Amino acid sequence: MKKMIFFLLFCLSSVAIQAQSKQLKGSVVDPDGMPLIGANIVVEGSKEATSTDFDGNFQITVPSGKNAIIVSYMGHKDITVDITGKTTVKVKMQAIANQMQEVVVVGYGTQKKETITGALGIVKGADLNKRAVASMSTALQGQIAGVTVQQTSGEPGSDGANIRIRGIGSVNSNTYPLVLVDGIEMDMNQVDMNTVESVSVLKDAASASIYGSRASNGVILITTKRGKEGKMKVLLDSYTTIQTPTNMPKVVKAADYLQSELNSFDNAGIVIPADQRAAREQMIADQRAYKPDNWNRYDTDWKEATVKNSALMTNNNVTLSGGAKDIKYFGALTSLNQGGLIENNNYKRINVRLNTDANINSWLKLNNEISYRTSTQVTPGISSPKGIINKSLYMLPTLSAVRELDGNWGYGKNGDNPVANAEASGRNTVERPEILLNATLIATPVKDLEILGQYSYRKTEARATYITTPYLTSLKGVVQGYYPGRDGVTELYNENFRNYFRAQASYAKNFGEHETKLMVGTQSENNEARDFSASKNGFDLERYYLVNGDGATASATGGASEWAMSSFYGRFNYNYNSKYLFEVSGRYDGSSRFVEGKKWGFFPSFSAGWIISKEKFMEPILDYVSDFKLRASVGTLGNQDIGNYPYASTIQAGYSYWIDKQLAQGVAQTALSNPNITWEKSRQTNFGLDATFFKRKLSATFDYYIKDIYDMLMVYPVPYYVGLNATYSNAGDMQNKGWETTISYKSNVGEFNYSITAALSNNENEITKLYGPNSDRSVTVGYPNGGIWGYKTDGYYVDAADVANSPKLSSAAKPGYVKYVKMDPSGLNPNQITENDKVYLGDPFPHYEYSVNLTASYKNFDFTCFWQGVGERKVVMSGIGVRPFFNGSNLFTHQLDSWTPDNQDAEYPILVPEANSADNFVTSDKWVKNGAYLRLKNIVIGYSLPKSFLTKTKIDNVRFYVSGQNLWTLSHFYAGYDPEVNYGGSLGGEFYPIMQTITFGANLKF
């Protein structure tokens, strides 16, 4: 490794100056005379190459005896320019807007989009950077049809989204796609978006089977930027973002809470003695008439005191790129600082990257990527940030003040004060450094043959310190003591090592109209993990938080794990006359997670394509149908993400036994083993088409797919008397099927350029087979995985006669209670609602996902407007989200619309104490709502200073921009909740709202 680093430094600092016959300068413009950025220029018959800068200018060395350059740019025809006797040229490109000729990243290589026969989605890094968000997964939302992106939280450092490609891929094992950055598996949310060149999403078996068992849930390939020949280019990007919650419930004030509580007693028939009722009514009147004195009257808005109105996020980035003929470089440094909605809650991240490409000689080159990332996440010492926010919503306004008159923290609920939790309960700090070294040696010893060797080393760490400091509480002038009862500290350290090696050879040869390419390779990776933690409670000296002490106050634990994979893969491409396309690929994977005899699995695929637009019979309509290609594929993928040792009986330390009337520490087997477990597999079929129309101004893609998952890895419950936890079994089958389409139109009117891209997709999921009985109703054959089951309802019971003559869940039913419908006529008692009356109520996963992206530019102005939404998604409301007084909680303002004899169309049933309300809040269609929404996801307005302003400076370009995220939402969702947030199928538990943002930024290019 030292030699490698030395080589890189040597190459960067000692570029040789070679003899040159002449320097050629020039510019490249589009058909309207506008500069083209990044056009490629190659001296014909040589390796000399460069690209145009932001102004469309270039400079290149022309070797002696060379008299022509080839200019190429995506969406334009390649042009060969004669430069005999010239030192300057101006090249005007001819637009063909043919995205089919674009070269895109595929598994272990690149390929022309025109010849791709699988289902592939592509988004450029520049489009992601328009979204001023901290996590890359969030920026992907709505960009590619068939890719579901659901954000679960807006918490700094934890605001990444869950990504699924074409539905959920398994019941119990990992369902998220494989993410590779320059071929190496990484956490997408830790990638600096400023370094991303492109993102390719492999959606079907044909495109993903080259990754075998790692690709059952799809693959996301992230390619980082590389340097180009030319002088050093420096790009600065800086922005500041104001973050505010998109939506949060509104809590009631003390008088409304007390009145609602009194009404609930009356509605439940609870008799309150006259003197107590009078005192309570006087208290309500005083609350309405006077301000709280924090002694006799409390009216504390815990949410207002705990949750900030806004928080700032800043991002600063600098990139440098350039190079000479034999070495090129790209470097980036980015600093992110994201504040949270409560005190002691923030996230900081620094990313550093250096990519180099060096030509060692005419047939050997070395590509290197070195990246370092470190992040620090800070949260309060007691409870999580979302837990503290949740407490601020449900805590009663009548409990105490935030701070009592004596200066101590208010007693809150049994000492638990959410504001004190955030500000004074200690601090949890988690640092996560990561280093990646990736080297690829590419040799072309003979024509058409390429041999590649790649090695990478990745180390990730987590260093955490959790400090709890009790705070002193009071109530009405009386000191109540410290909360929590003891201070403490926990220090944790874990590290993960991943070593990866790949060797690959590819051979491409054309025989007249026959084009062939064969690629074979092998890959191995080894993963090791170690962890250690130590804790201590009770300190003699305040703020002396060191982990030392005896067995009564201190403890330590540790662990280690390891797993490995070895693989062989190959792909063969053939096309005839650039019209008939065929591809065969496969991968043979071996995993340490399965027992001998079941370690290896083979995952093949086959695909074909027909470019109909190149047939002679299409020539008369080529002005209308520019390109038309049909695609079809079938293949098998696997899944082994189930933990390291499910096939083996393992033991775990930390268990105690009674031996001779003494409690002794020992080890125990804690889970069953299954030596018969093997790969989960998915058989995937895809049919698609790609087309462009009207001289390629309009483009469209459409795909229909079926994904059958079989031998599904599931955990079936076992009886408690077994004494061991259940393990995985190959115990079920599931199917995803759906369709997706994307339509795009690009054109211009003079200097006004515009485009519109719309995407729409839908996926249907179904459990098709279970190999044994299952008590979990959400996993039922013939219905979606995670399906919602509950009772049908018919409004409310209107009076006593209605209660007497209608089916009931229990004898507690009374007027104003939710009225349930008898769905099972076979029941012994027609007036008794039972478990057998439950019916399927809906799918919690999104359906009919759509997006519309509008872009425009005019002279120095640019504009982007991105809309995104979901047509259908069922969400169950439960807990505090729907149930007044839940676990002693406060009410939300929308819950005041409750049933009374004069308000029988109310949103909520009659108010009764929580102990009397259980029948109203079981899962039913009353509490299942459609989470459909349309959201203005992102809007950007930019302005670049005229070139005339910068002619006397060394600055090439200055652009200012303002952008907004989540600015407007159309929805009929529950009041106070965000329909976009993935609440895990139900709503009402702890959550951290996602953010609405306004961003102000600037780009400078030198």
User: Three-state SS string across 310-350, please?
Assistant: CEEEEEEEEEEEEECCCEEEEEEEEEEEEECCCCCCEEEEE
Terminal CA-CA length for the chain? 34
- Mean pLDDT value across residues 292-301: 87
Q: Which residues contact 960 (CB under 8 A, 6 or more apart)?
A: 942, 943, 1001, 1002
Q: Which residues of 603-627 are buried (b: 16+ CB within 10 A; e: fewer)?
A: bbbbbbbbbbbbeeebeeeeeeebb
pTM: 0.86
**Of the listed ranges 162-176, 328-342, 745-759, 908-922, the one predicted with least confidence:** 162-176
Is pLDDT at 2 greater than 60 in this prediction? Answer: no
Q: For residue range 719-760, what is the model confidence (pLDDT) as tens digits?
A: 776 777 778 888 889 999 999 999 999 998 888 999 999 999
How far is the CA of 537 from the CAs of 426, 464, 483, 540, 544, in angstroms? 13, 17, 14, 10, 11
What does the alpha-carbon distance between residue 124 and residue 628 come to, in Å, rounded to a whole number? 23
Is pLDDT at 196 greater than 50 in this prediction? Answer: yes
Position 988, amino acid: G
- Mean pLDDT value across residues 67-83: 83
The band of 584, judged by pLDDT with boundaries at 50, 70 and 90, is very high
Residue 12 has a pLDDT of: 40
Q: In this structure, are strands 178-181 and 219-224 parallel, antiparallel, or unpaired?
A: parallel
Higher pLDDT, 636 or 555: 636
Bridge partners (DSSP) of residue 242 are: 312, 998
- Mean pLDDT value across residues 671-684: 84
Higher pLDDT, 183 or 554: 183
Q: In this structure, are strands 409-410 and 471-475 parallel, antiparallel, or unpaired?
A: parallel
The band of 4, judged by pLDDT with boundaries at 50, 70 and 90, is very low
Is pLDDT at 828 greater than 80 in this prediction? Answer: no
The band of 834, judged by pLDDT with boundaries at 50, 70 and 90, is very high
Residue 819 has a pLDDT of: 97
Higher pLDDT, 391 or 542: 391
Q: For residue range 304-357, what is the model confidence (pLDDT) as tens digits?
A: 999 999 999 999 999 999 999 899 999 999 999 999 999 999 999 999 999 999
The burial class, CB within 10 Å (0-12 / 13-18 / 19+), for 481 is: exposed
The band of 980, judged by pLDDT with boundaries at 50, 70 and 90, is confident
Place of tokens 């062939």: 516
**CATH superfamily assigned to domain 19-96:** Carboxypeptidase-like, regulatory domain (2.60.40.1120)
The percentage of residues in the chain with a pLDDT greater than 70, rounded to a whole number, is 94
Residue 14 has a pLDDT of: 36
Same topology between domain 19-96 and domain 101-225: no
* CB 765 within 8 Å of CB 168: yes
The band of 13, judged by pLDDT with boundaries at 50, 70 and 90, is very low
The band of 173, judged by pLDDT with boundaries at 50, 70 and 90, is low
- Mean pLDDT value across residues 234-254: 95
How far is the CA of 939 from the CAs of 142, 868, 934, 950, in angstroms? 14, 12, 14, 27
Highest mean pLDDT among 94-108, 207-221, 567-581, 645-659: 567-581
Residue 642 has a pLDDT of: 74
Is pLDDT at 16 greater than 60 in this prediction? Answer: no
Question: Which two tokens mark 62?
Answer: 């022309």
The band of 35, judged by pLDDT with boundaries at 50, 70 and 90, is confident
What does the alpha-carbon distance between residue 8 and residue 13 come to, in Å, rounded to a whole number? 9
Place of tokens 């899962």: 923
Residue 99 has a pLDDT of: 59
Is pLDDT at 490 greater than 80 in this prediction? Answer: yes
User: Could you please report the per-residue DSSP string of 927-972?
Assistant: GEEE--EEEEEEEEEEEE--HHHHTTSS-SEEEEEEEEEEEEEEE-
* CB 481 within 8 Å of CB 473: yes
Is pLDDT at 108 greater than 60 in this prediction? Answer: yes
Is pLDDT at 988 greater than 90 in this prediction? Answer: no
Residue 449 has a pLDDT of: 95
Is pLDDT at 646 greater than 80 in this prediction? Answer: no
Residue 540 has a pLDDT of: 60
State the DSSP H helix or E strand holding residue 819, giving kind and residue range, or none if neither: strand 818-820
Sign of CA dihedral 145, 150, 155, 158: negative
Residue positions counted in the chain: 1006
Residue 15 has a pLDDT of: 36
Higher pLDDT, 172 or 509: 509
- Mean pLDDT value across residues 520-534: 94
Residue 18 has a pLDDT of: 39
Highest mean pLDDT among 147-161, 490-504, 531-545: 490-504
Place of tokens 């759906």: 738
The band of 987, judged by pLDDT with boundaries at 50, 70 and 90, is low
**Of the listed ranges 128-137, 268-277, 368-377, 618-627, the one predicted with least confidence:** 128-137
User: Could you please report the per-residue DSSP string of 48-107?
Assistant: -EEE--TTSEEEEEE-TT--EEEEE-TTB--EEEE-TT-SEEEEE--B---GGG-EEEET
Number of H helices, E strands in the chain: 11, 52
Is pLDDT at 11 greater than 50 in this prediction? Answer: no
* CB 102 within 8 Å of CB 37: no
The band of 200, judged by pLDDT with boundaries at 50, 70 and 90, is very high
Residue 37 has a pLDDT of: 78
Residue 100 has a pLDDT of: 59
Position 956, amino acid: D
Is pLDDT at 498 greater than 90 in this prediction? Answer: yes
Residue 443 has a pLDDT of: 95
Q: For residue range 856-869, what is the model confidence (pLDDT) as tens digits?
A: 999 899 999 999 99
Is pLDDT at 361 greater than 90 in this prediction? Answer: yes
Is pLDDT at 872 greater than 60 in this prediction? Answer: yes
Q: For residue range 608-620, what is the model confidence (pLDDT) as tens digits?
A: 999 999 999 999 9
The percentage of residues in the chain with a pLDDT greater than 90, rounded to a whole number, is 63
Residue 15: CA count within 13 A, CB half-sphere:
16
The domain at 101-225 falls in which architecture? Answer: Beta Complex (2.170)
Residue 839 has a pLDDT of: 95
Residue 298 has a pLDDT of: 93
- Mean pLDDT value across residues 413-429: 94
- Mean pLDDT value across residues 84-89: 89
What does the alpha-carbon distance between residue 412 and residue 884 come to, in Å, rounded to a whole number? 19
Q: Where are the domains of the chain?
A: 19-96, 101-225
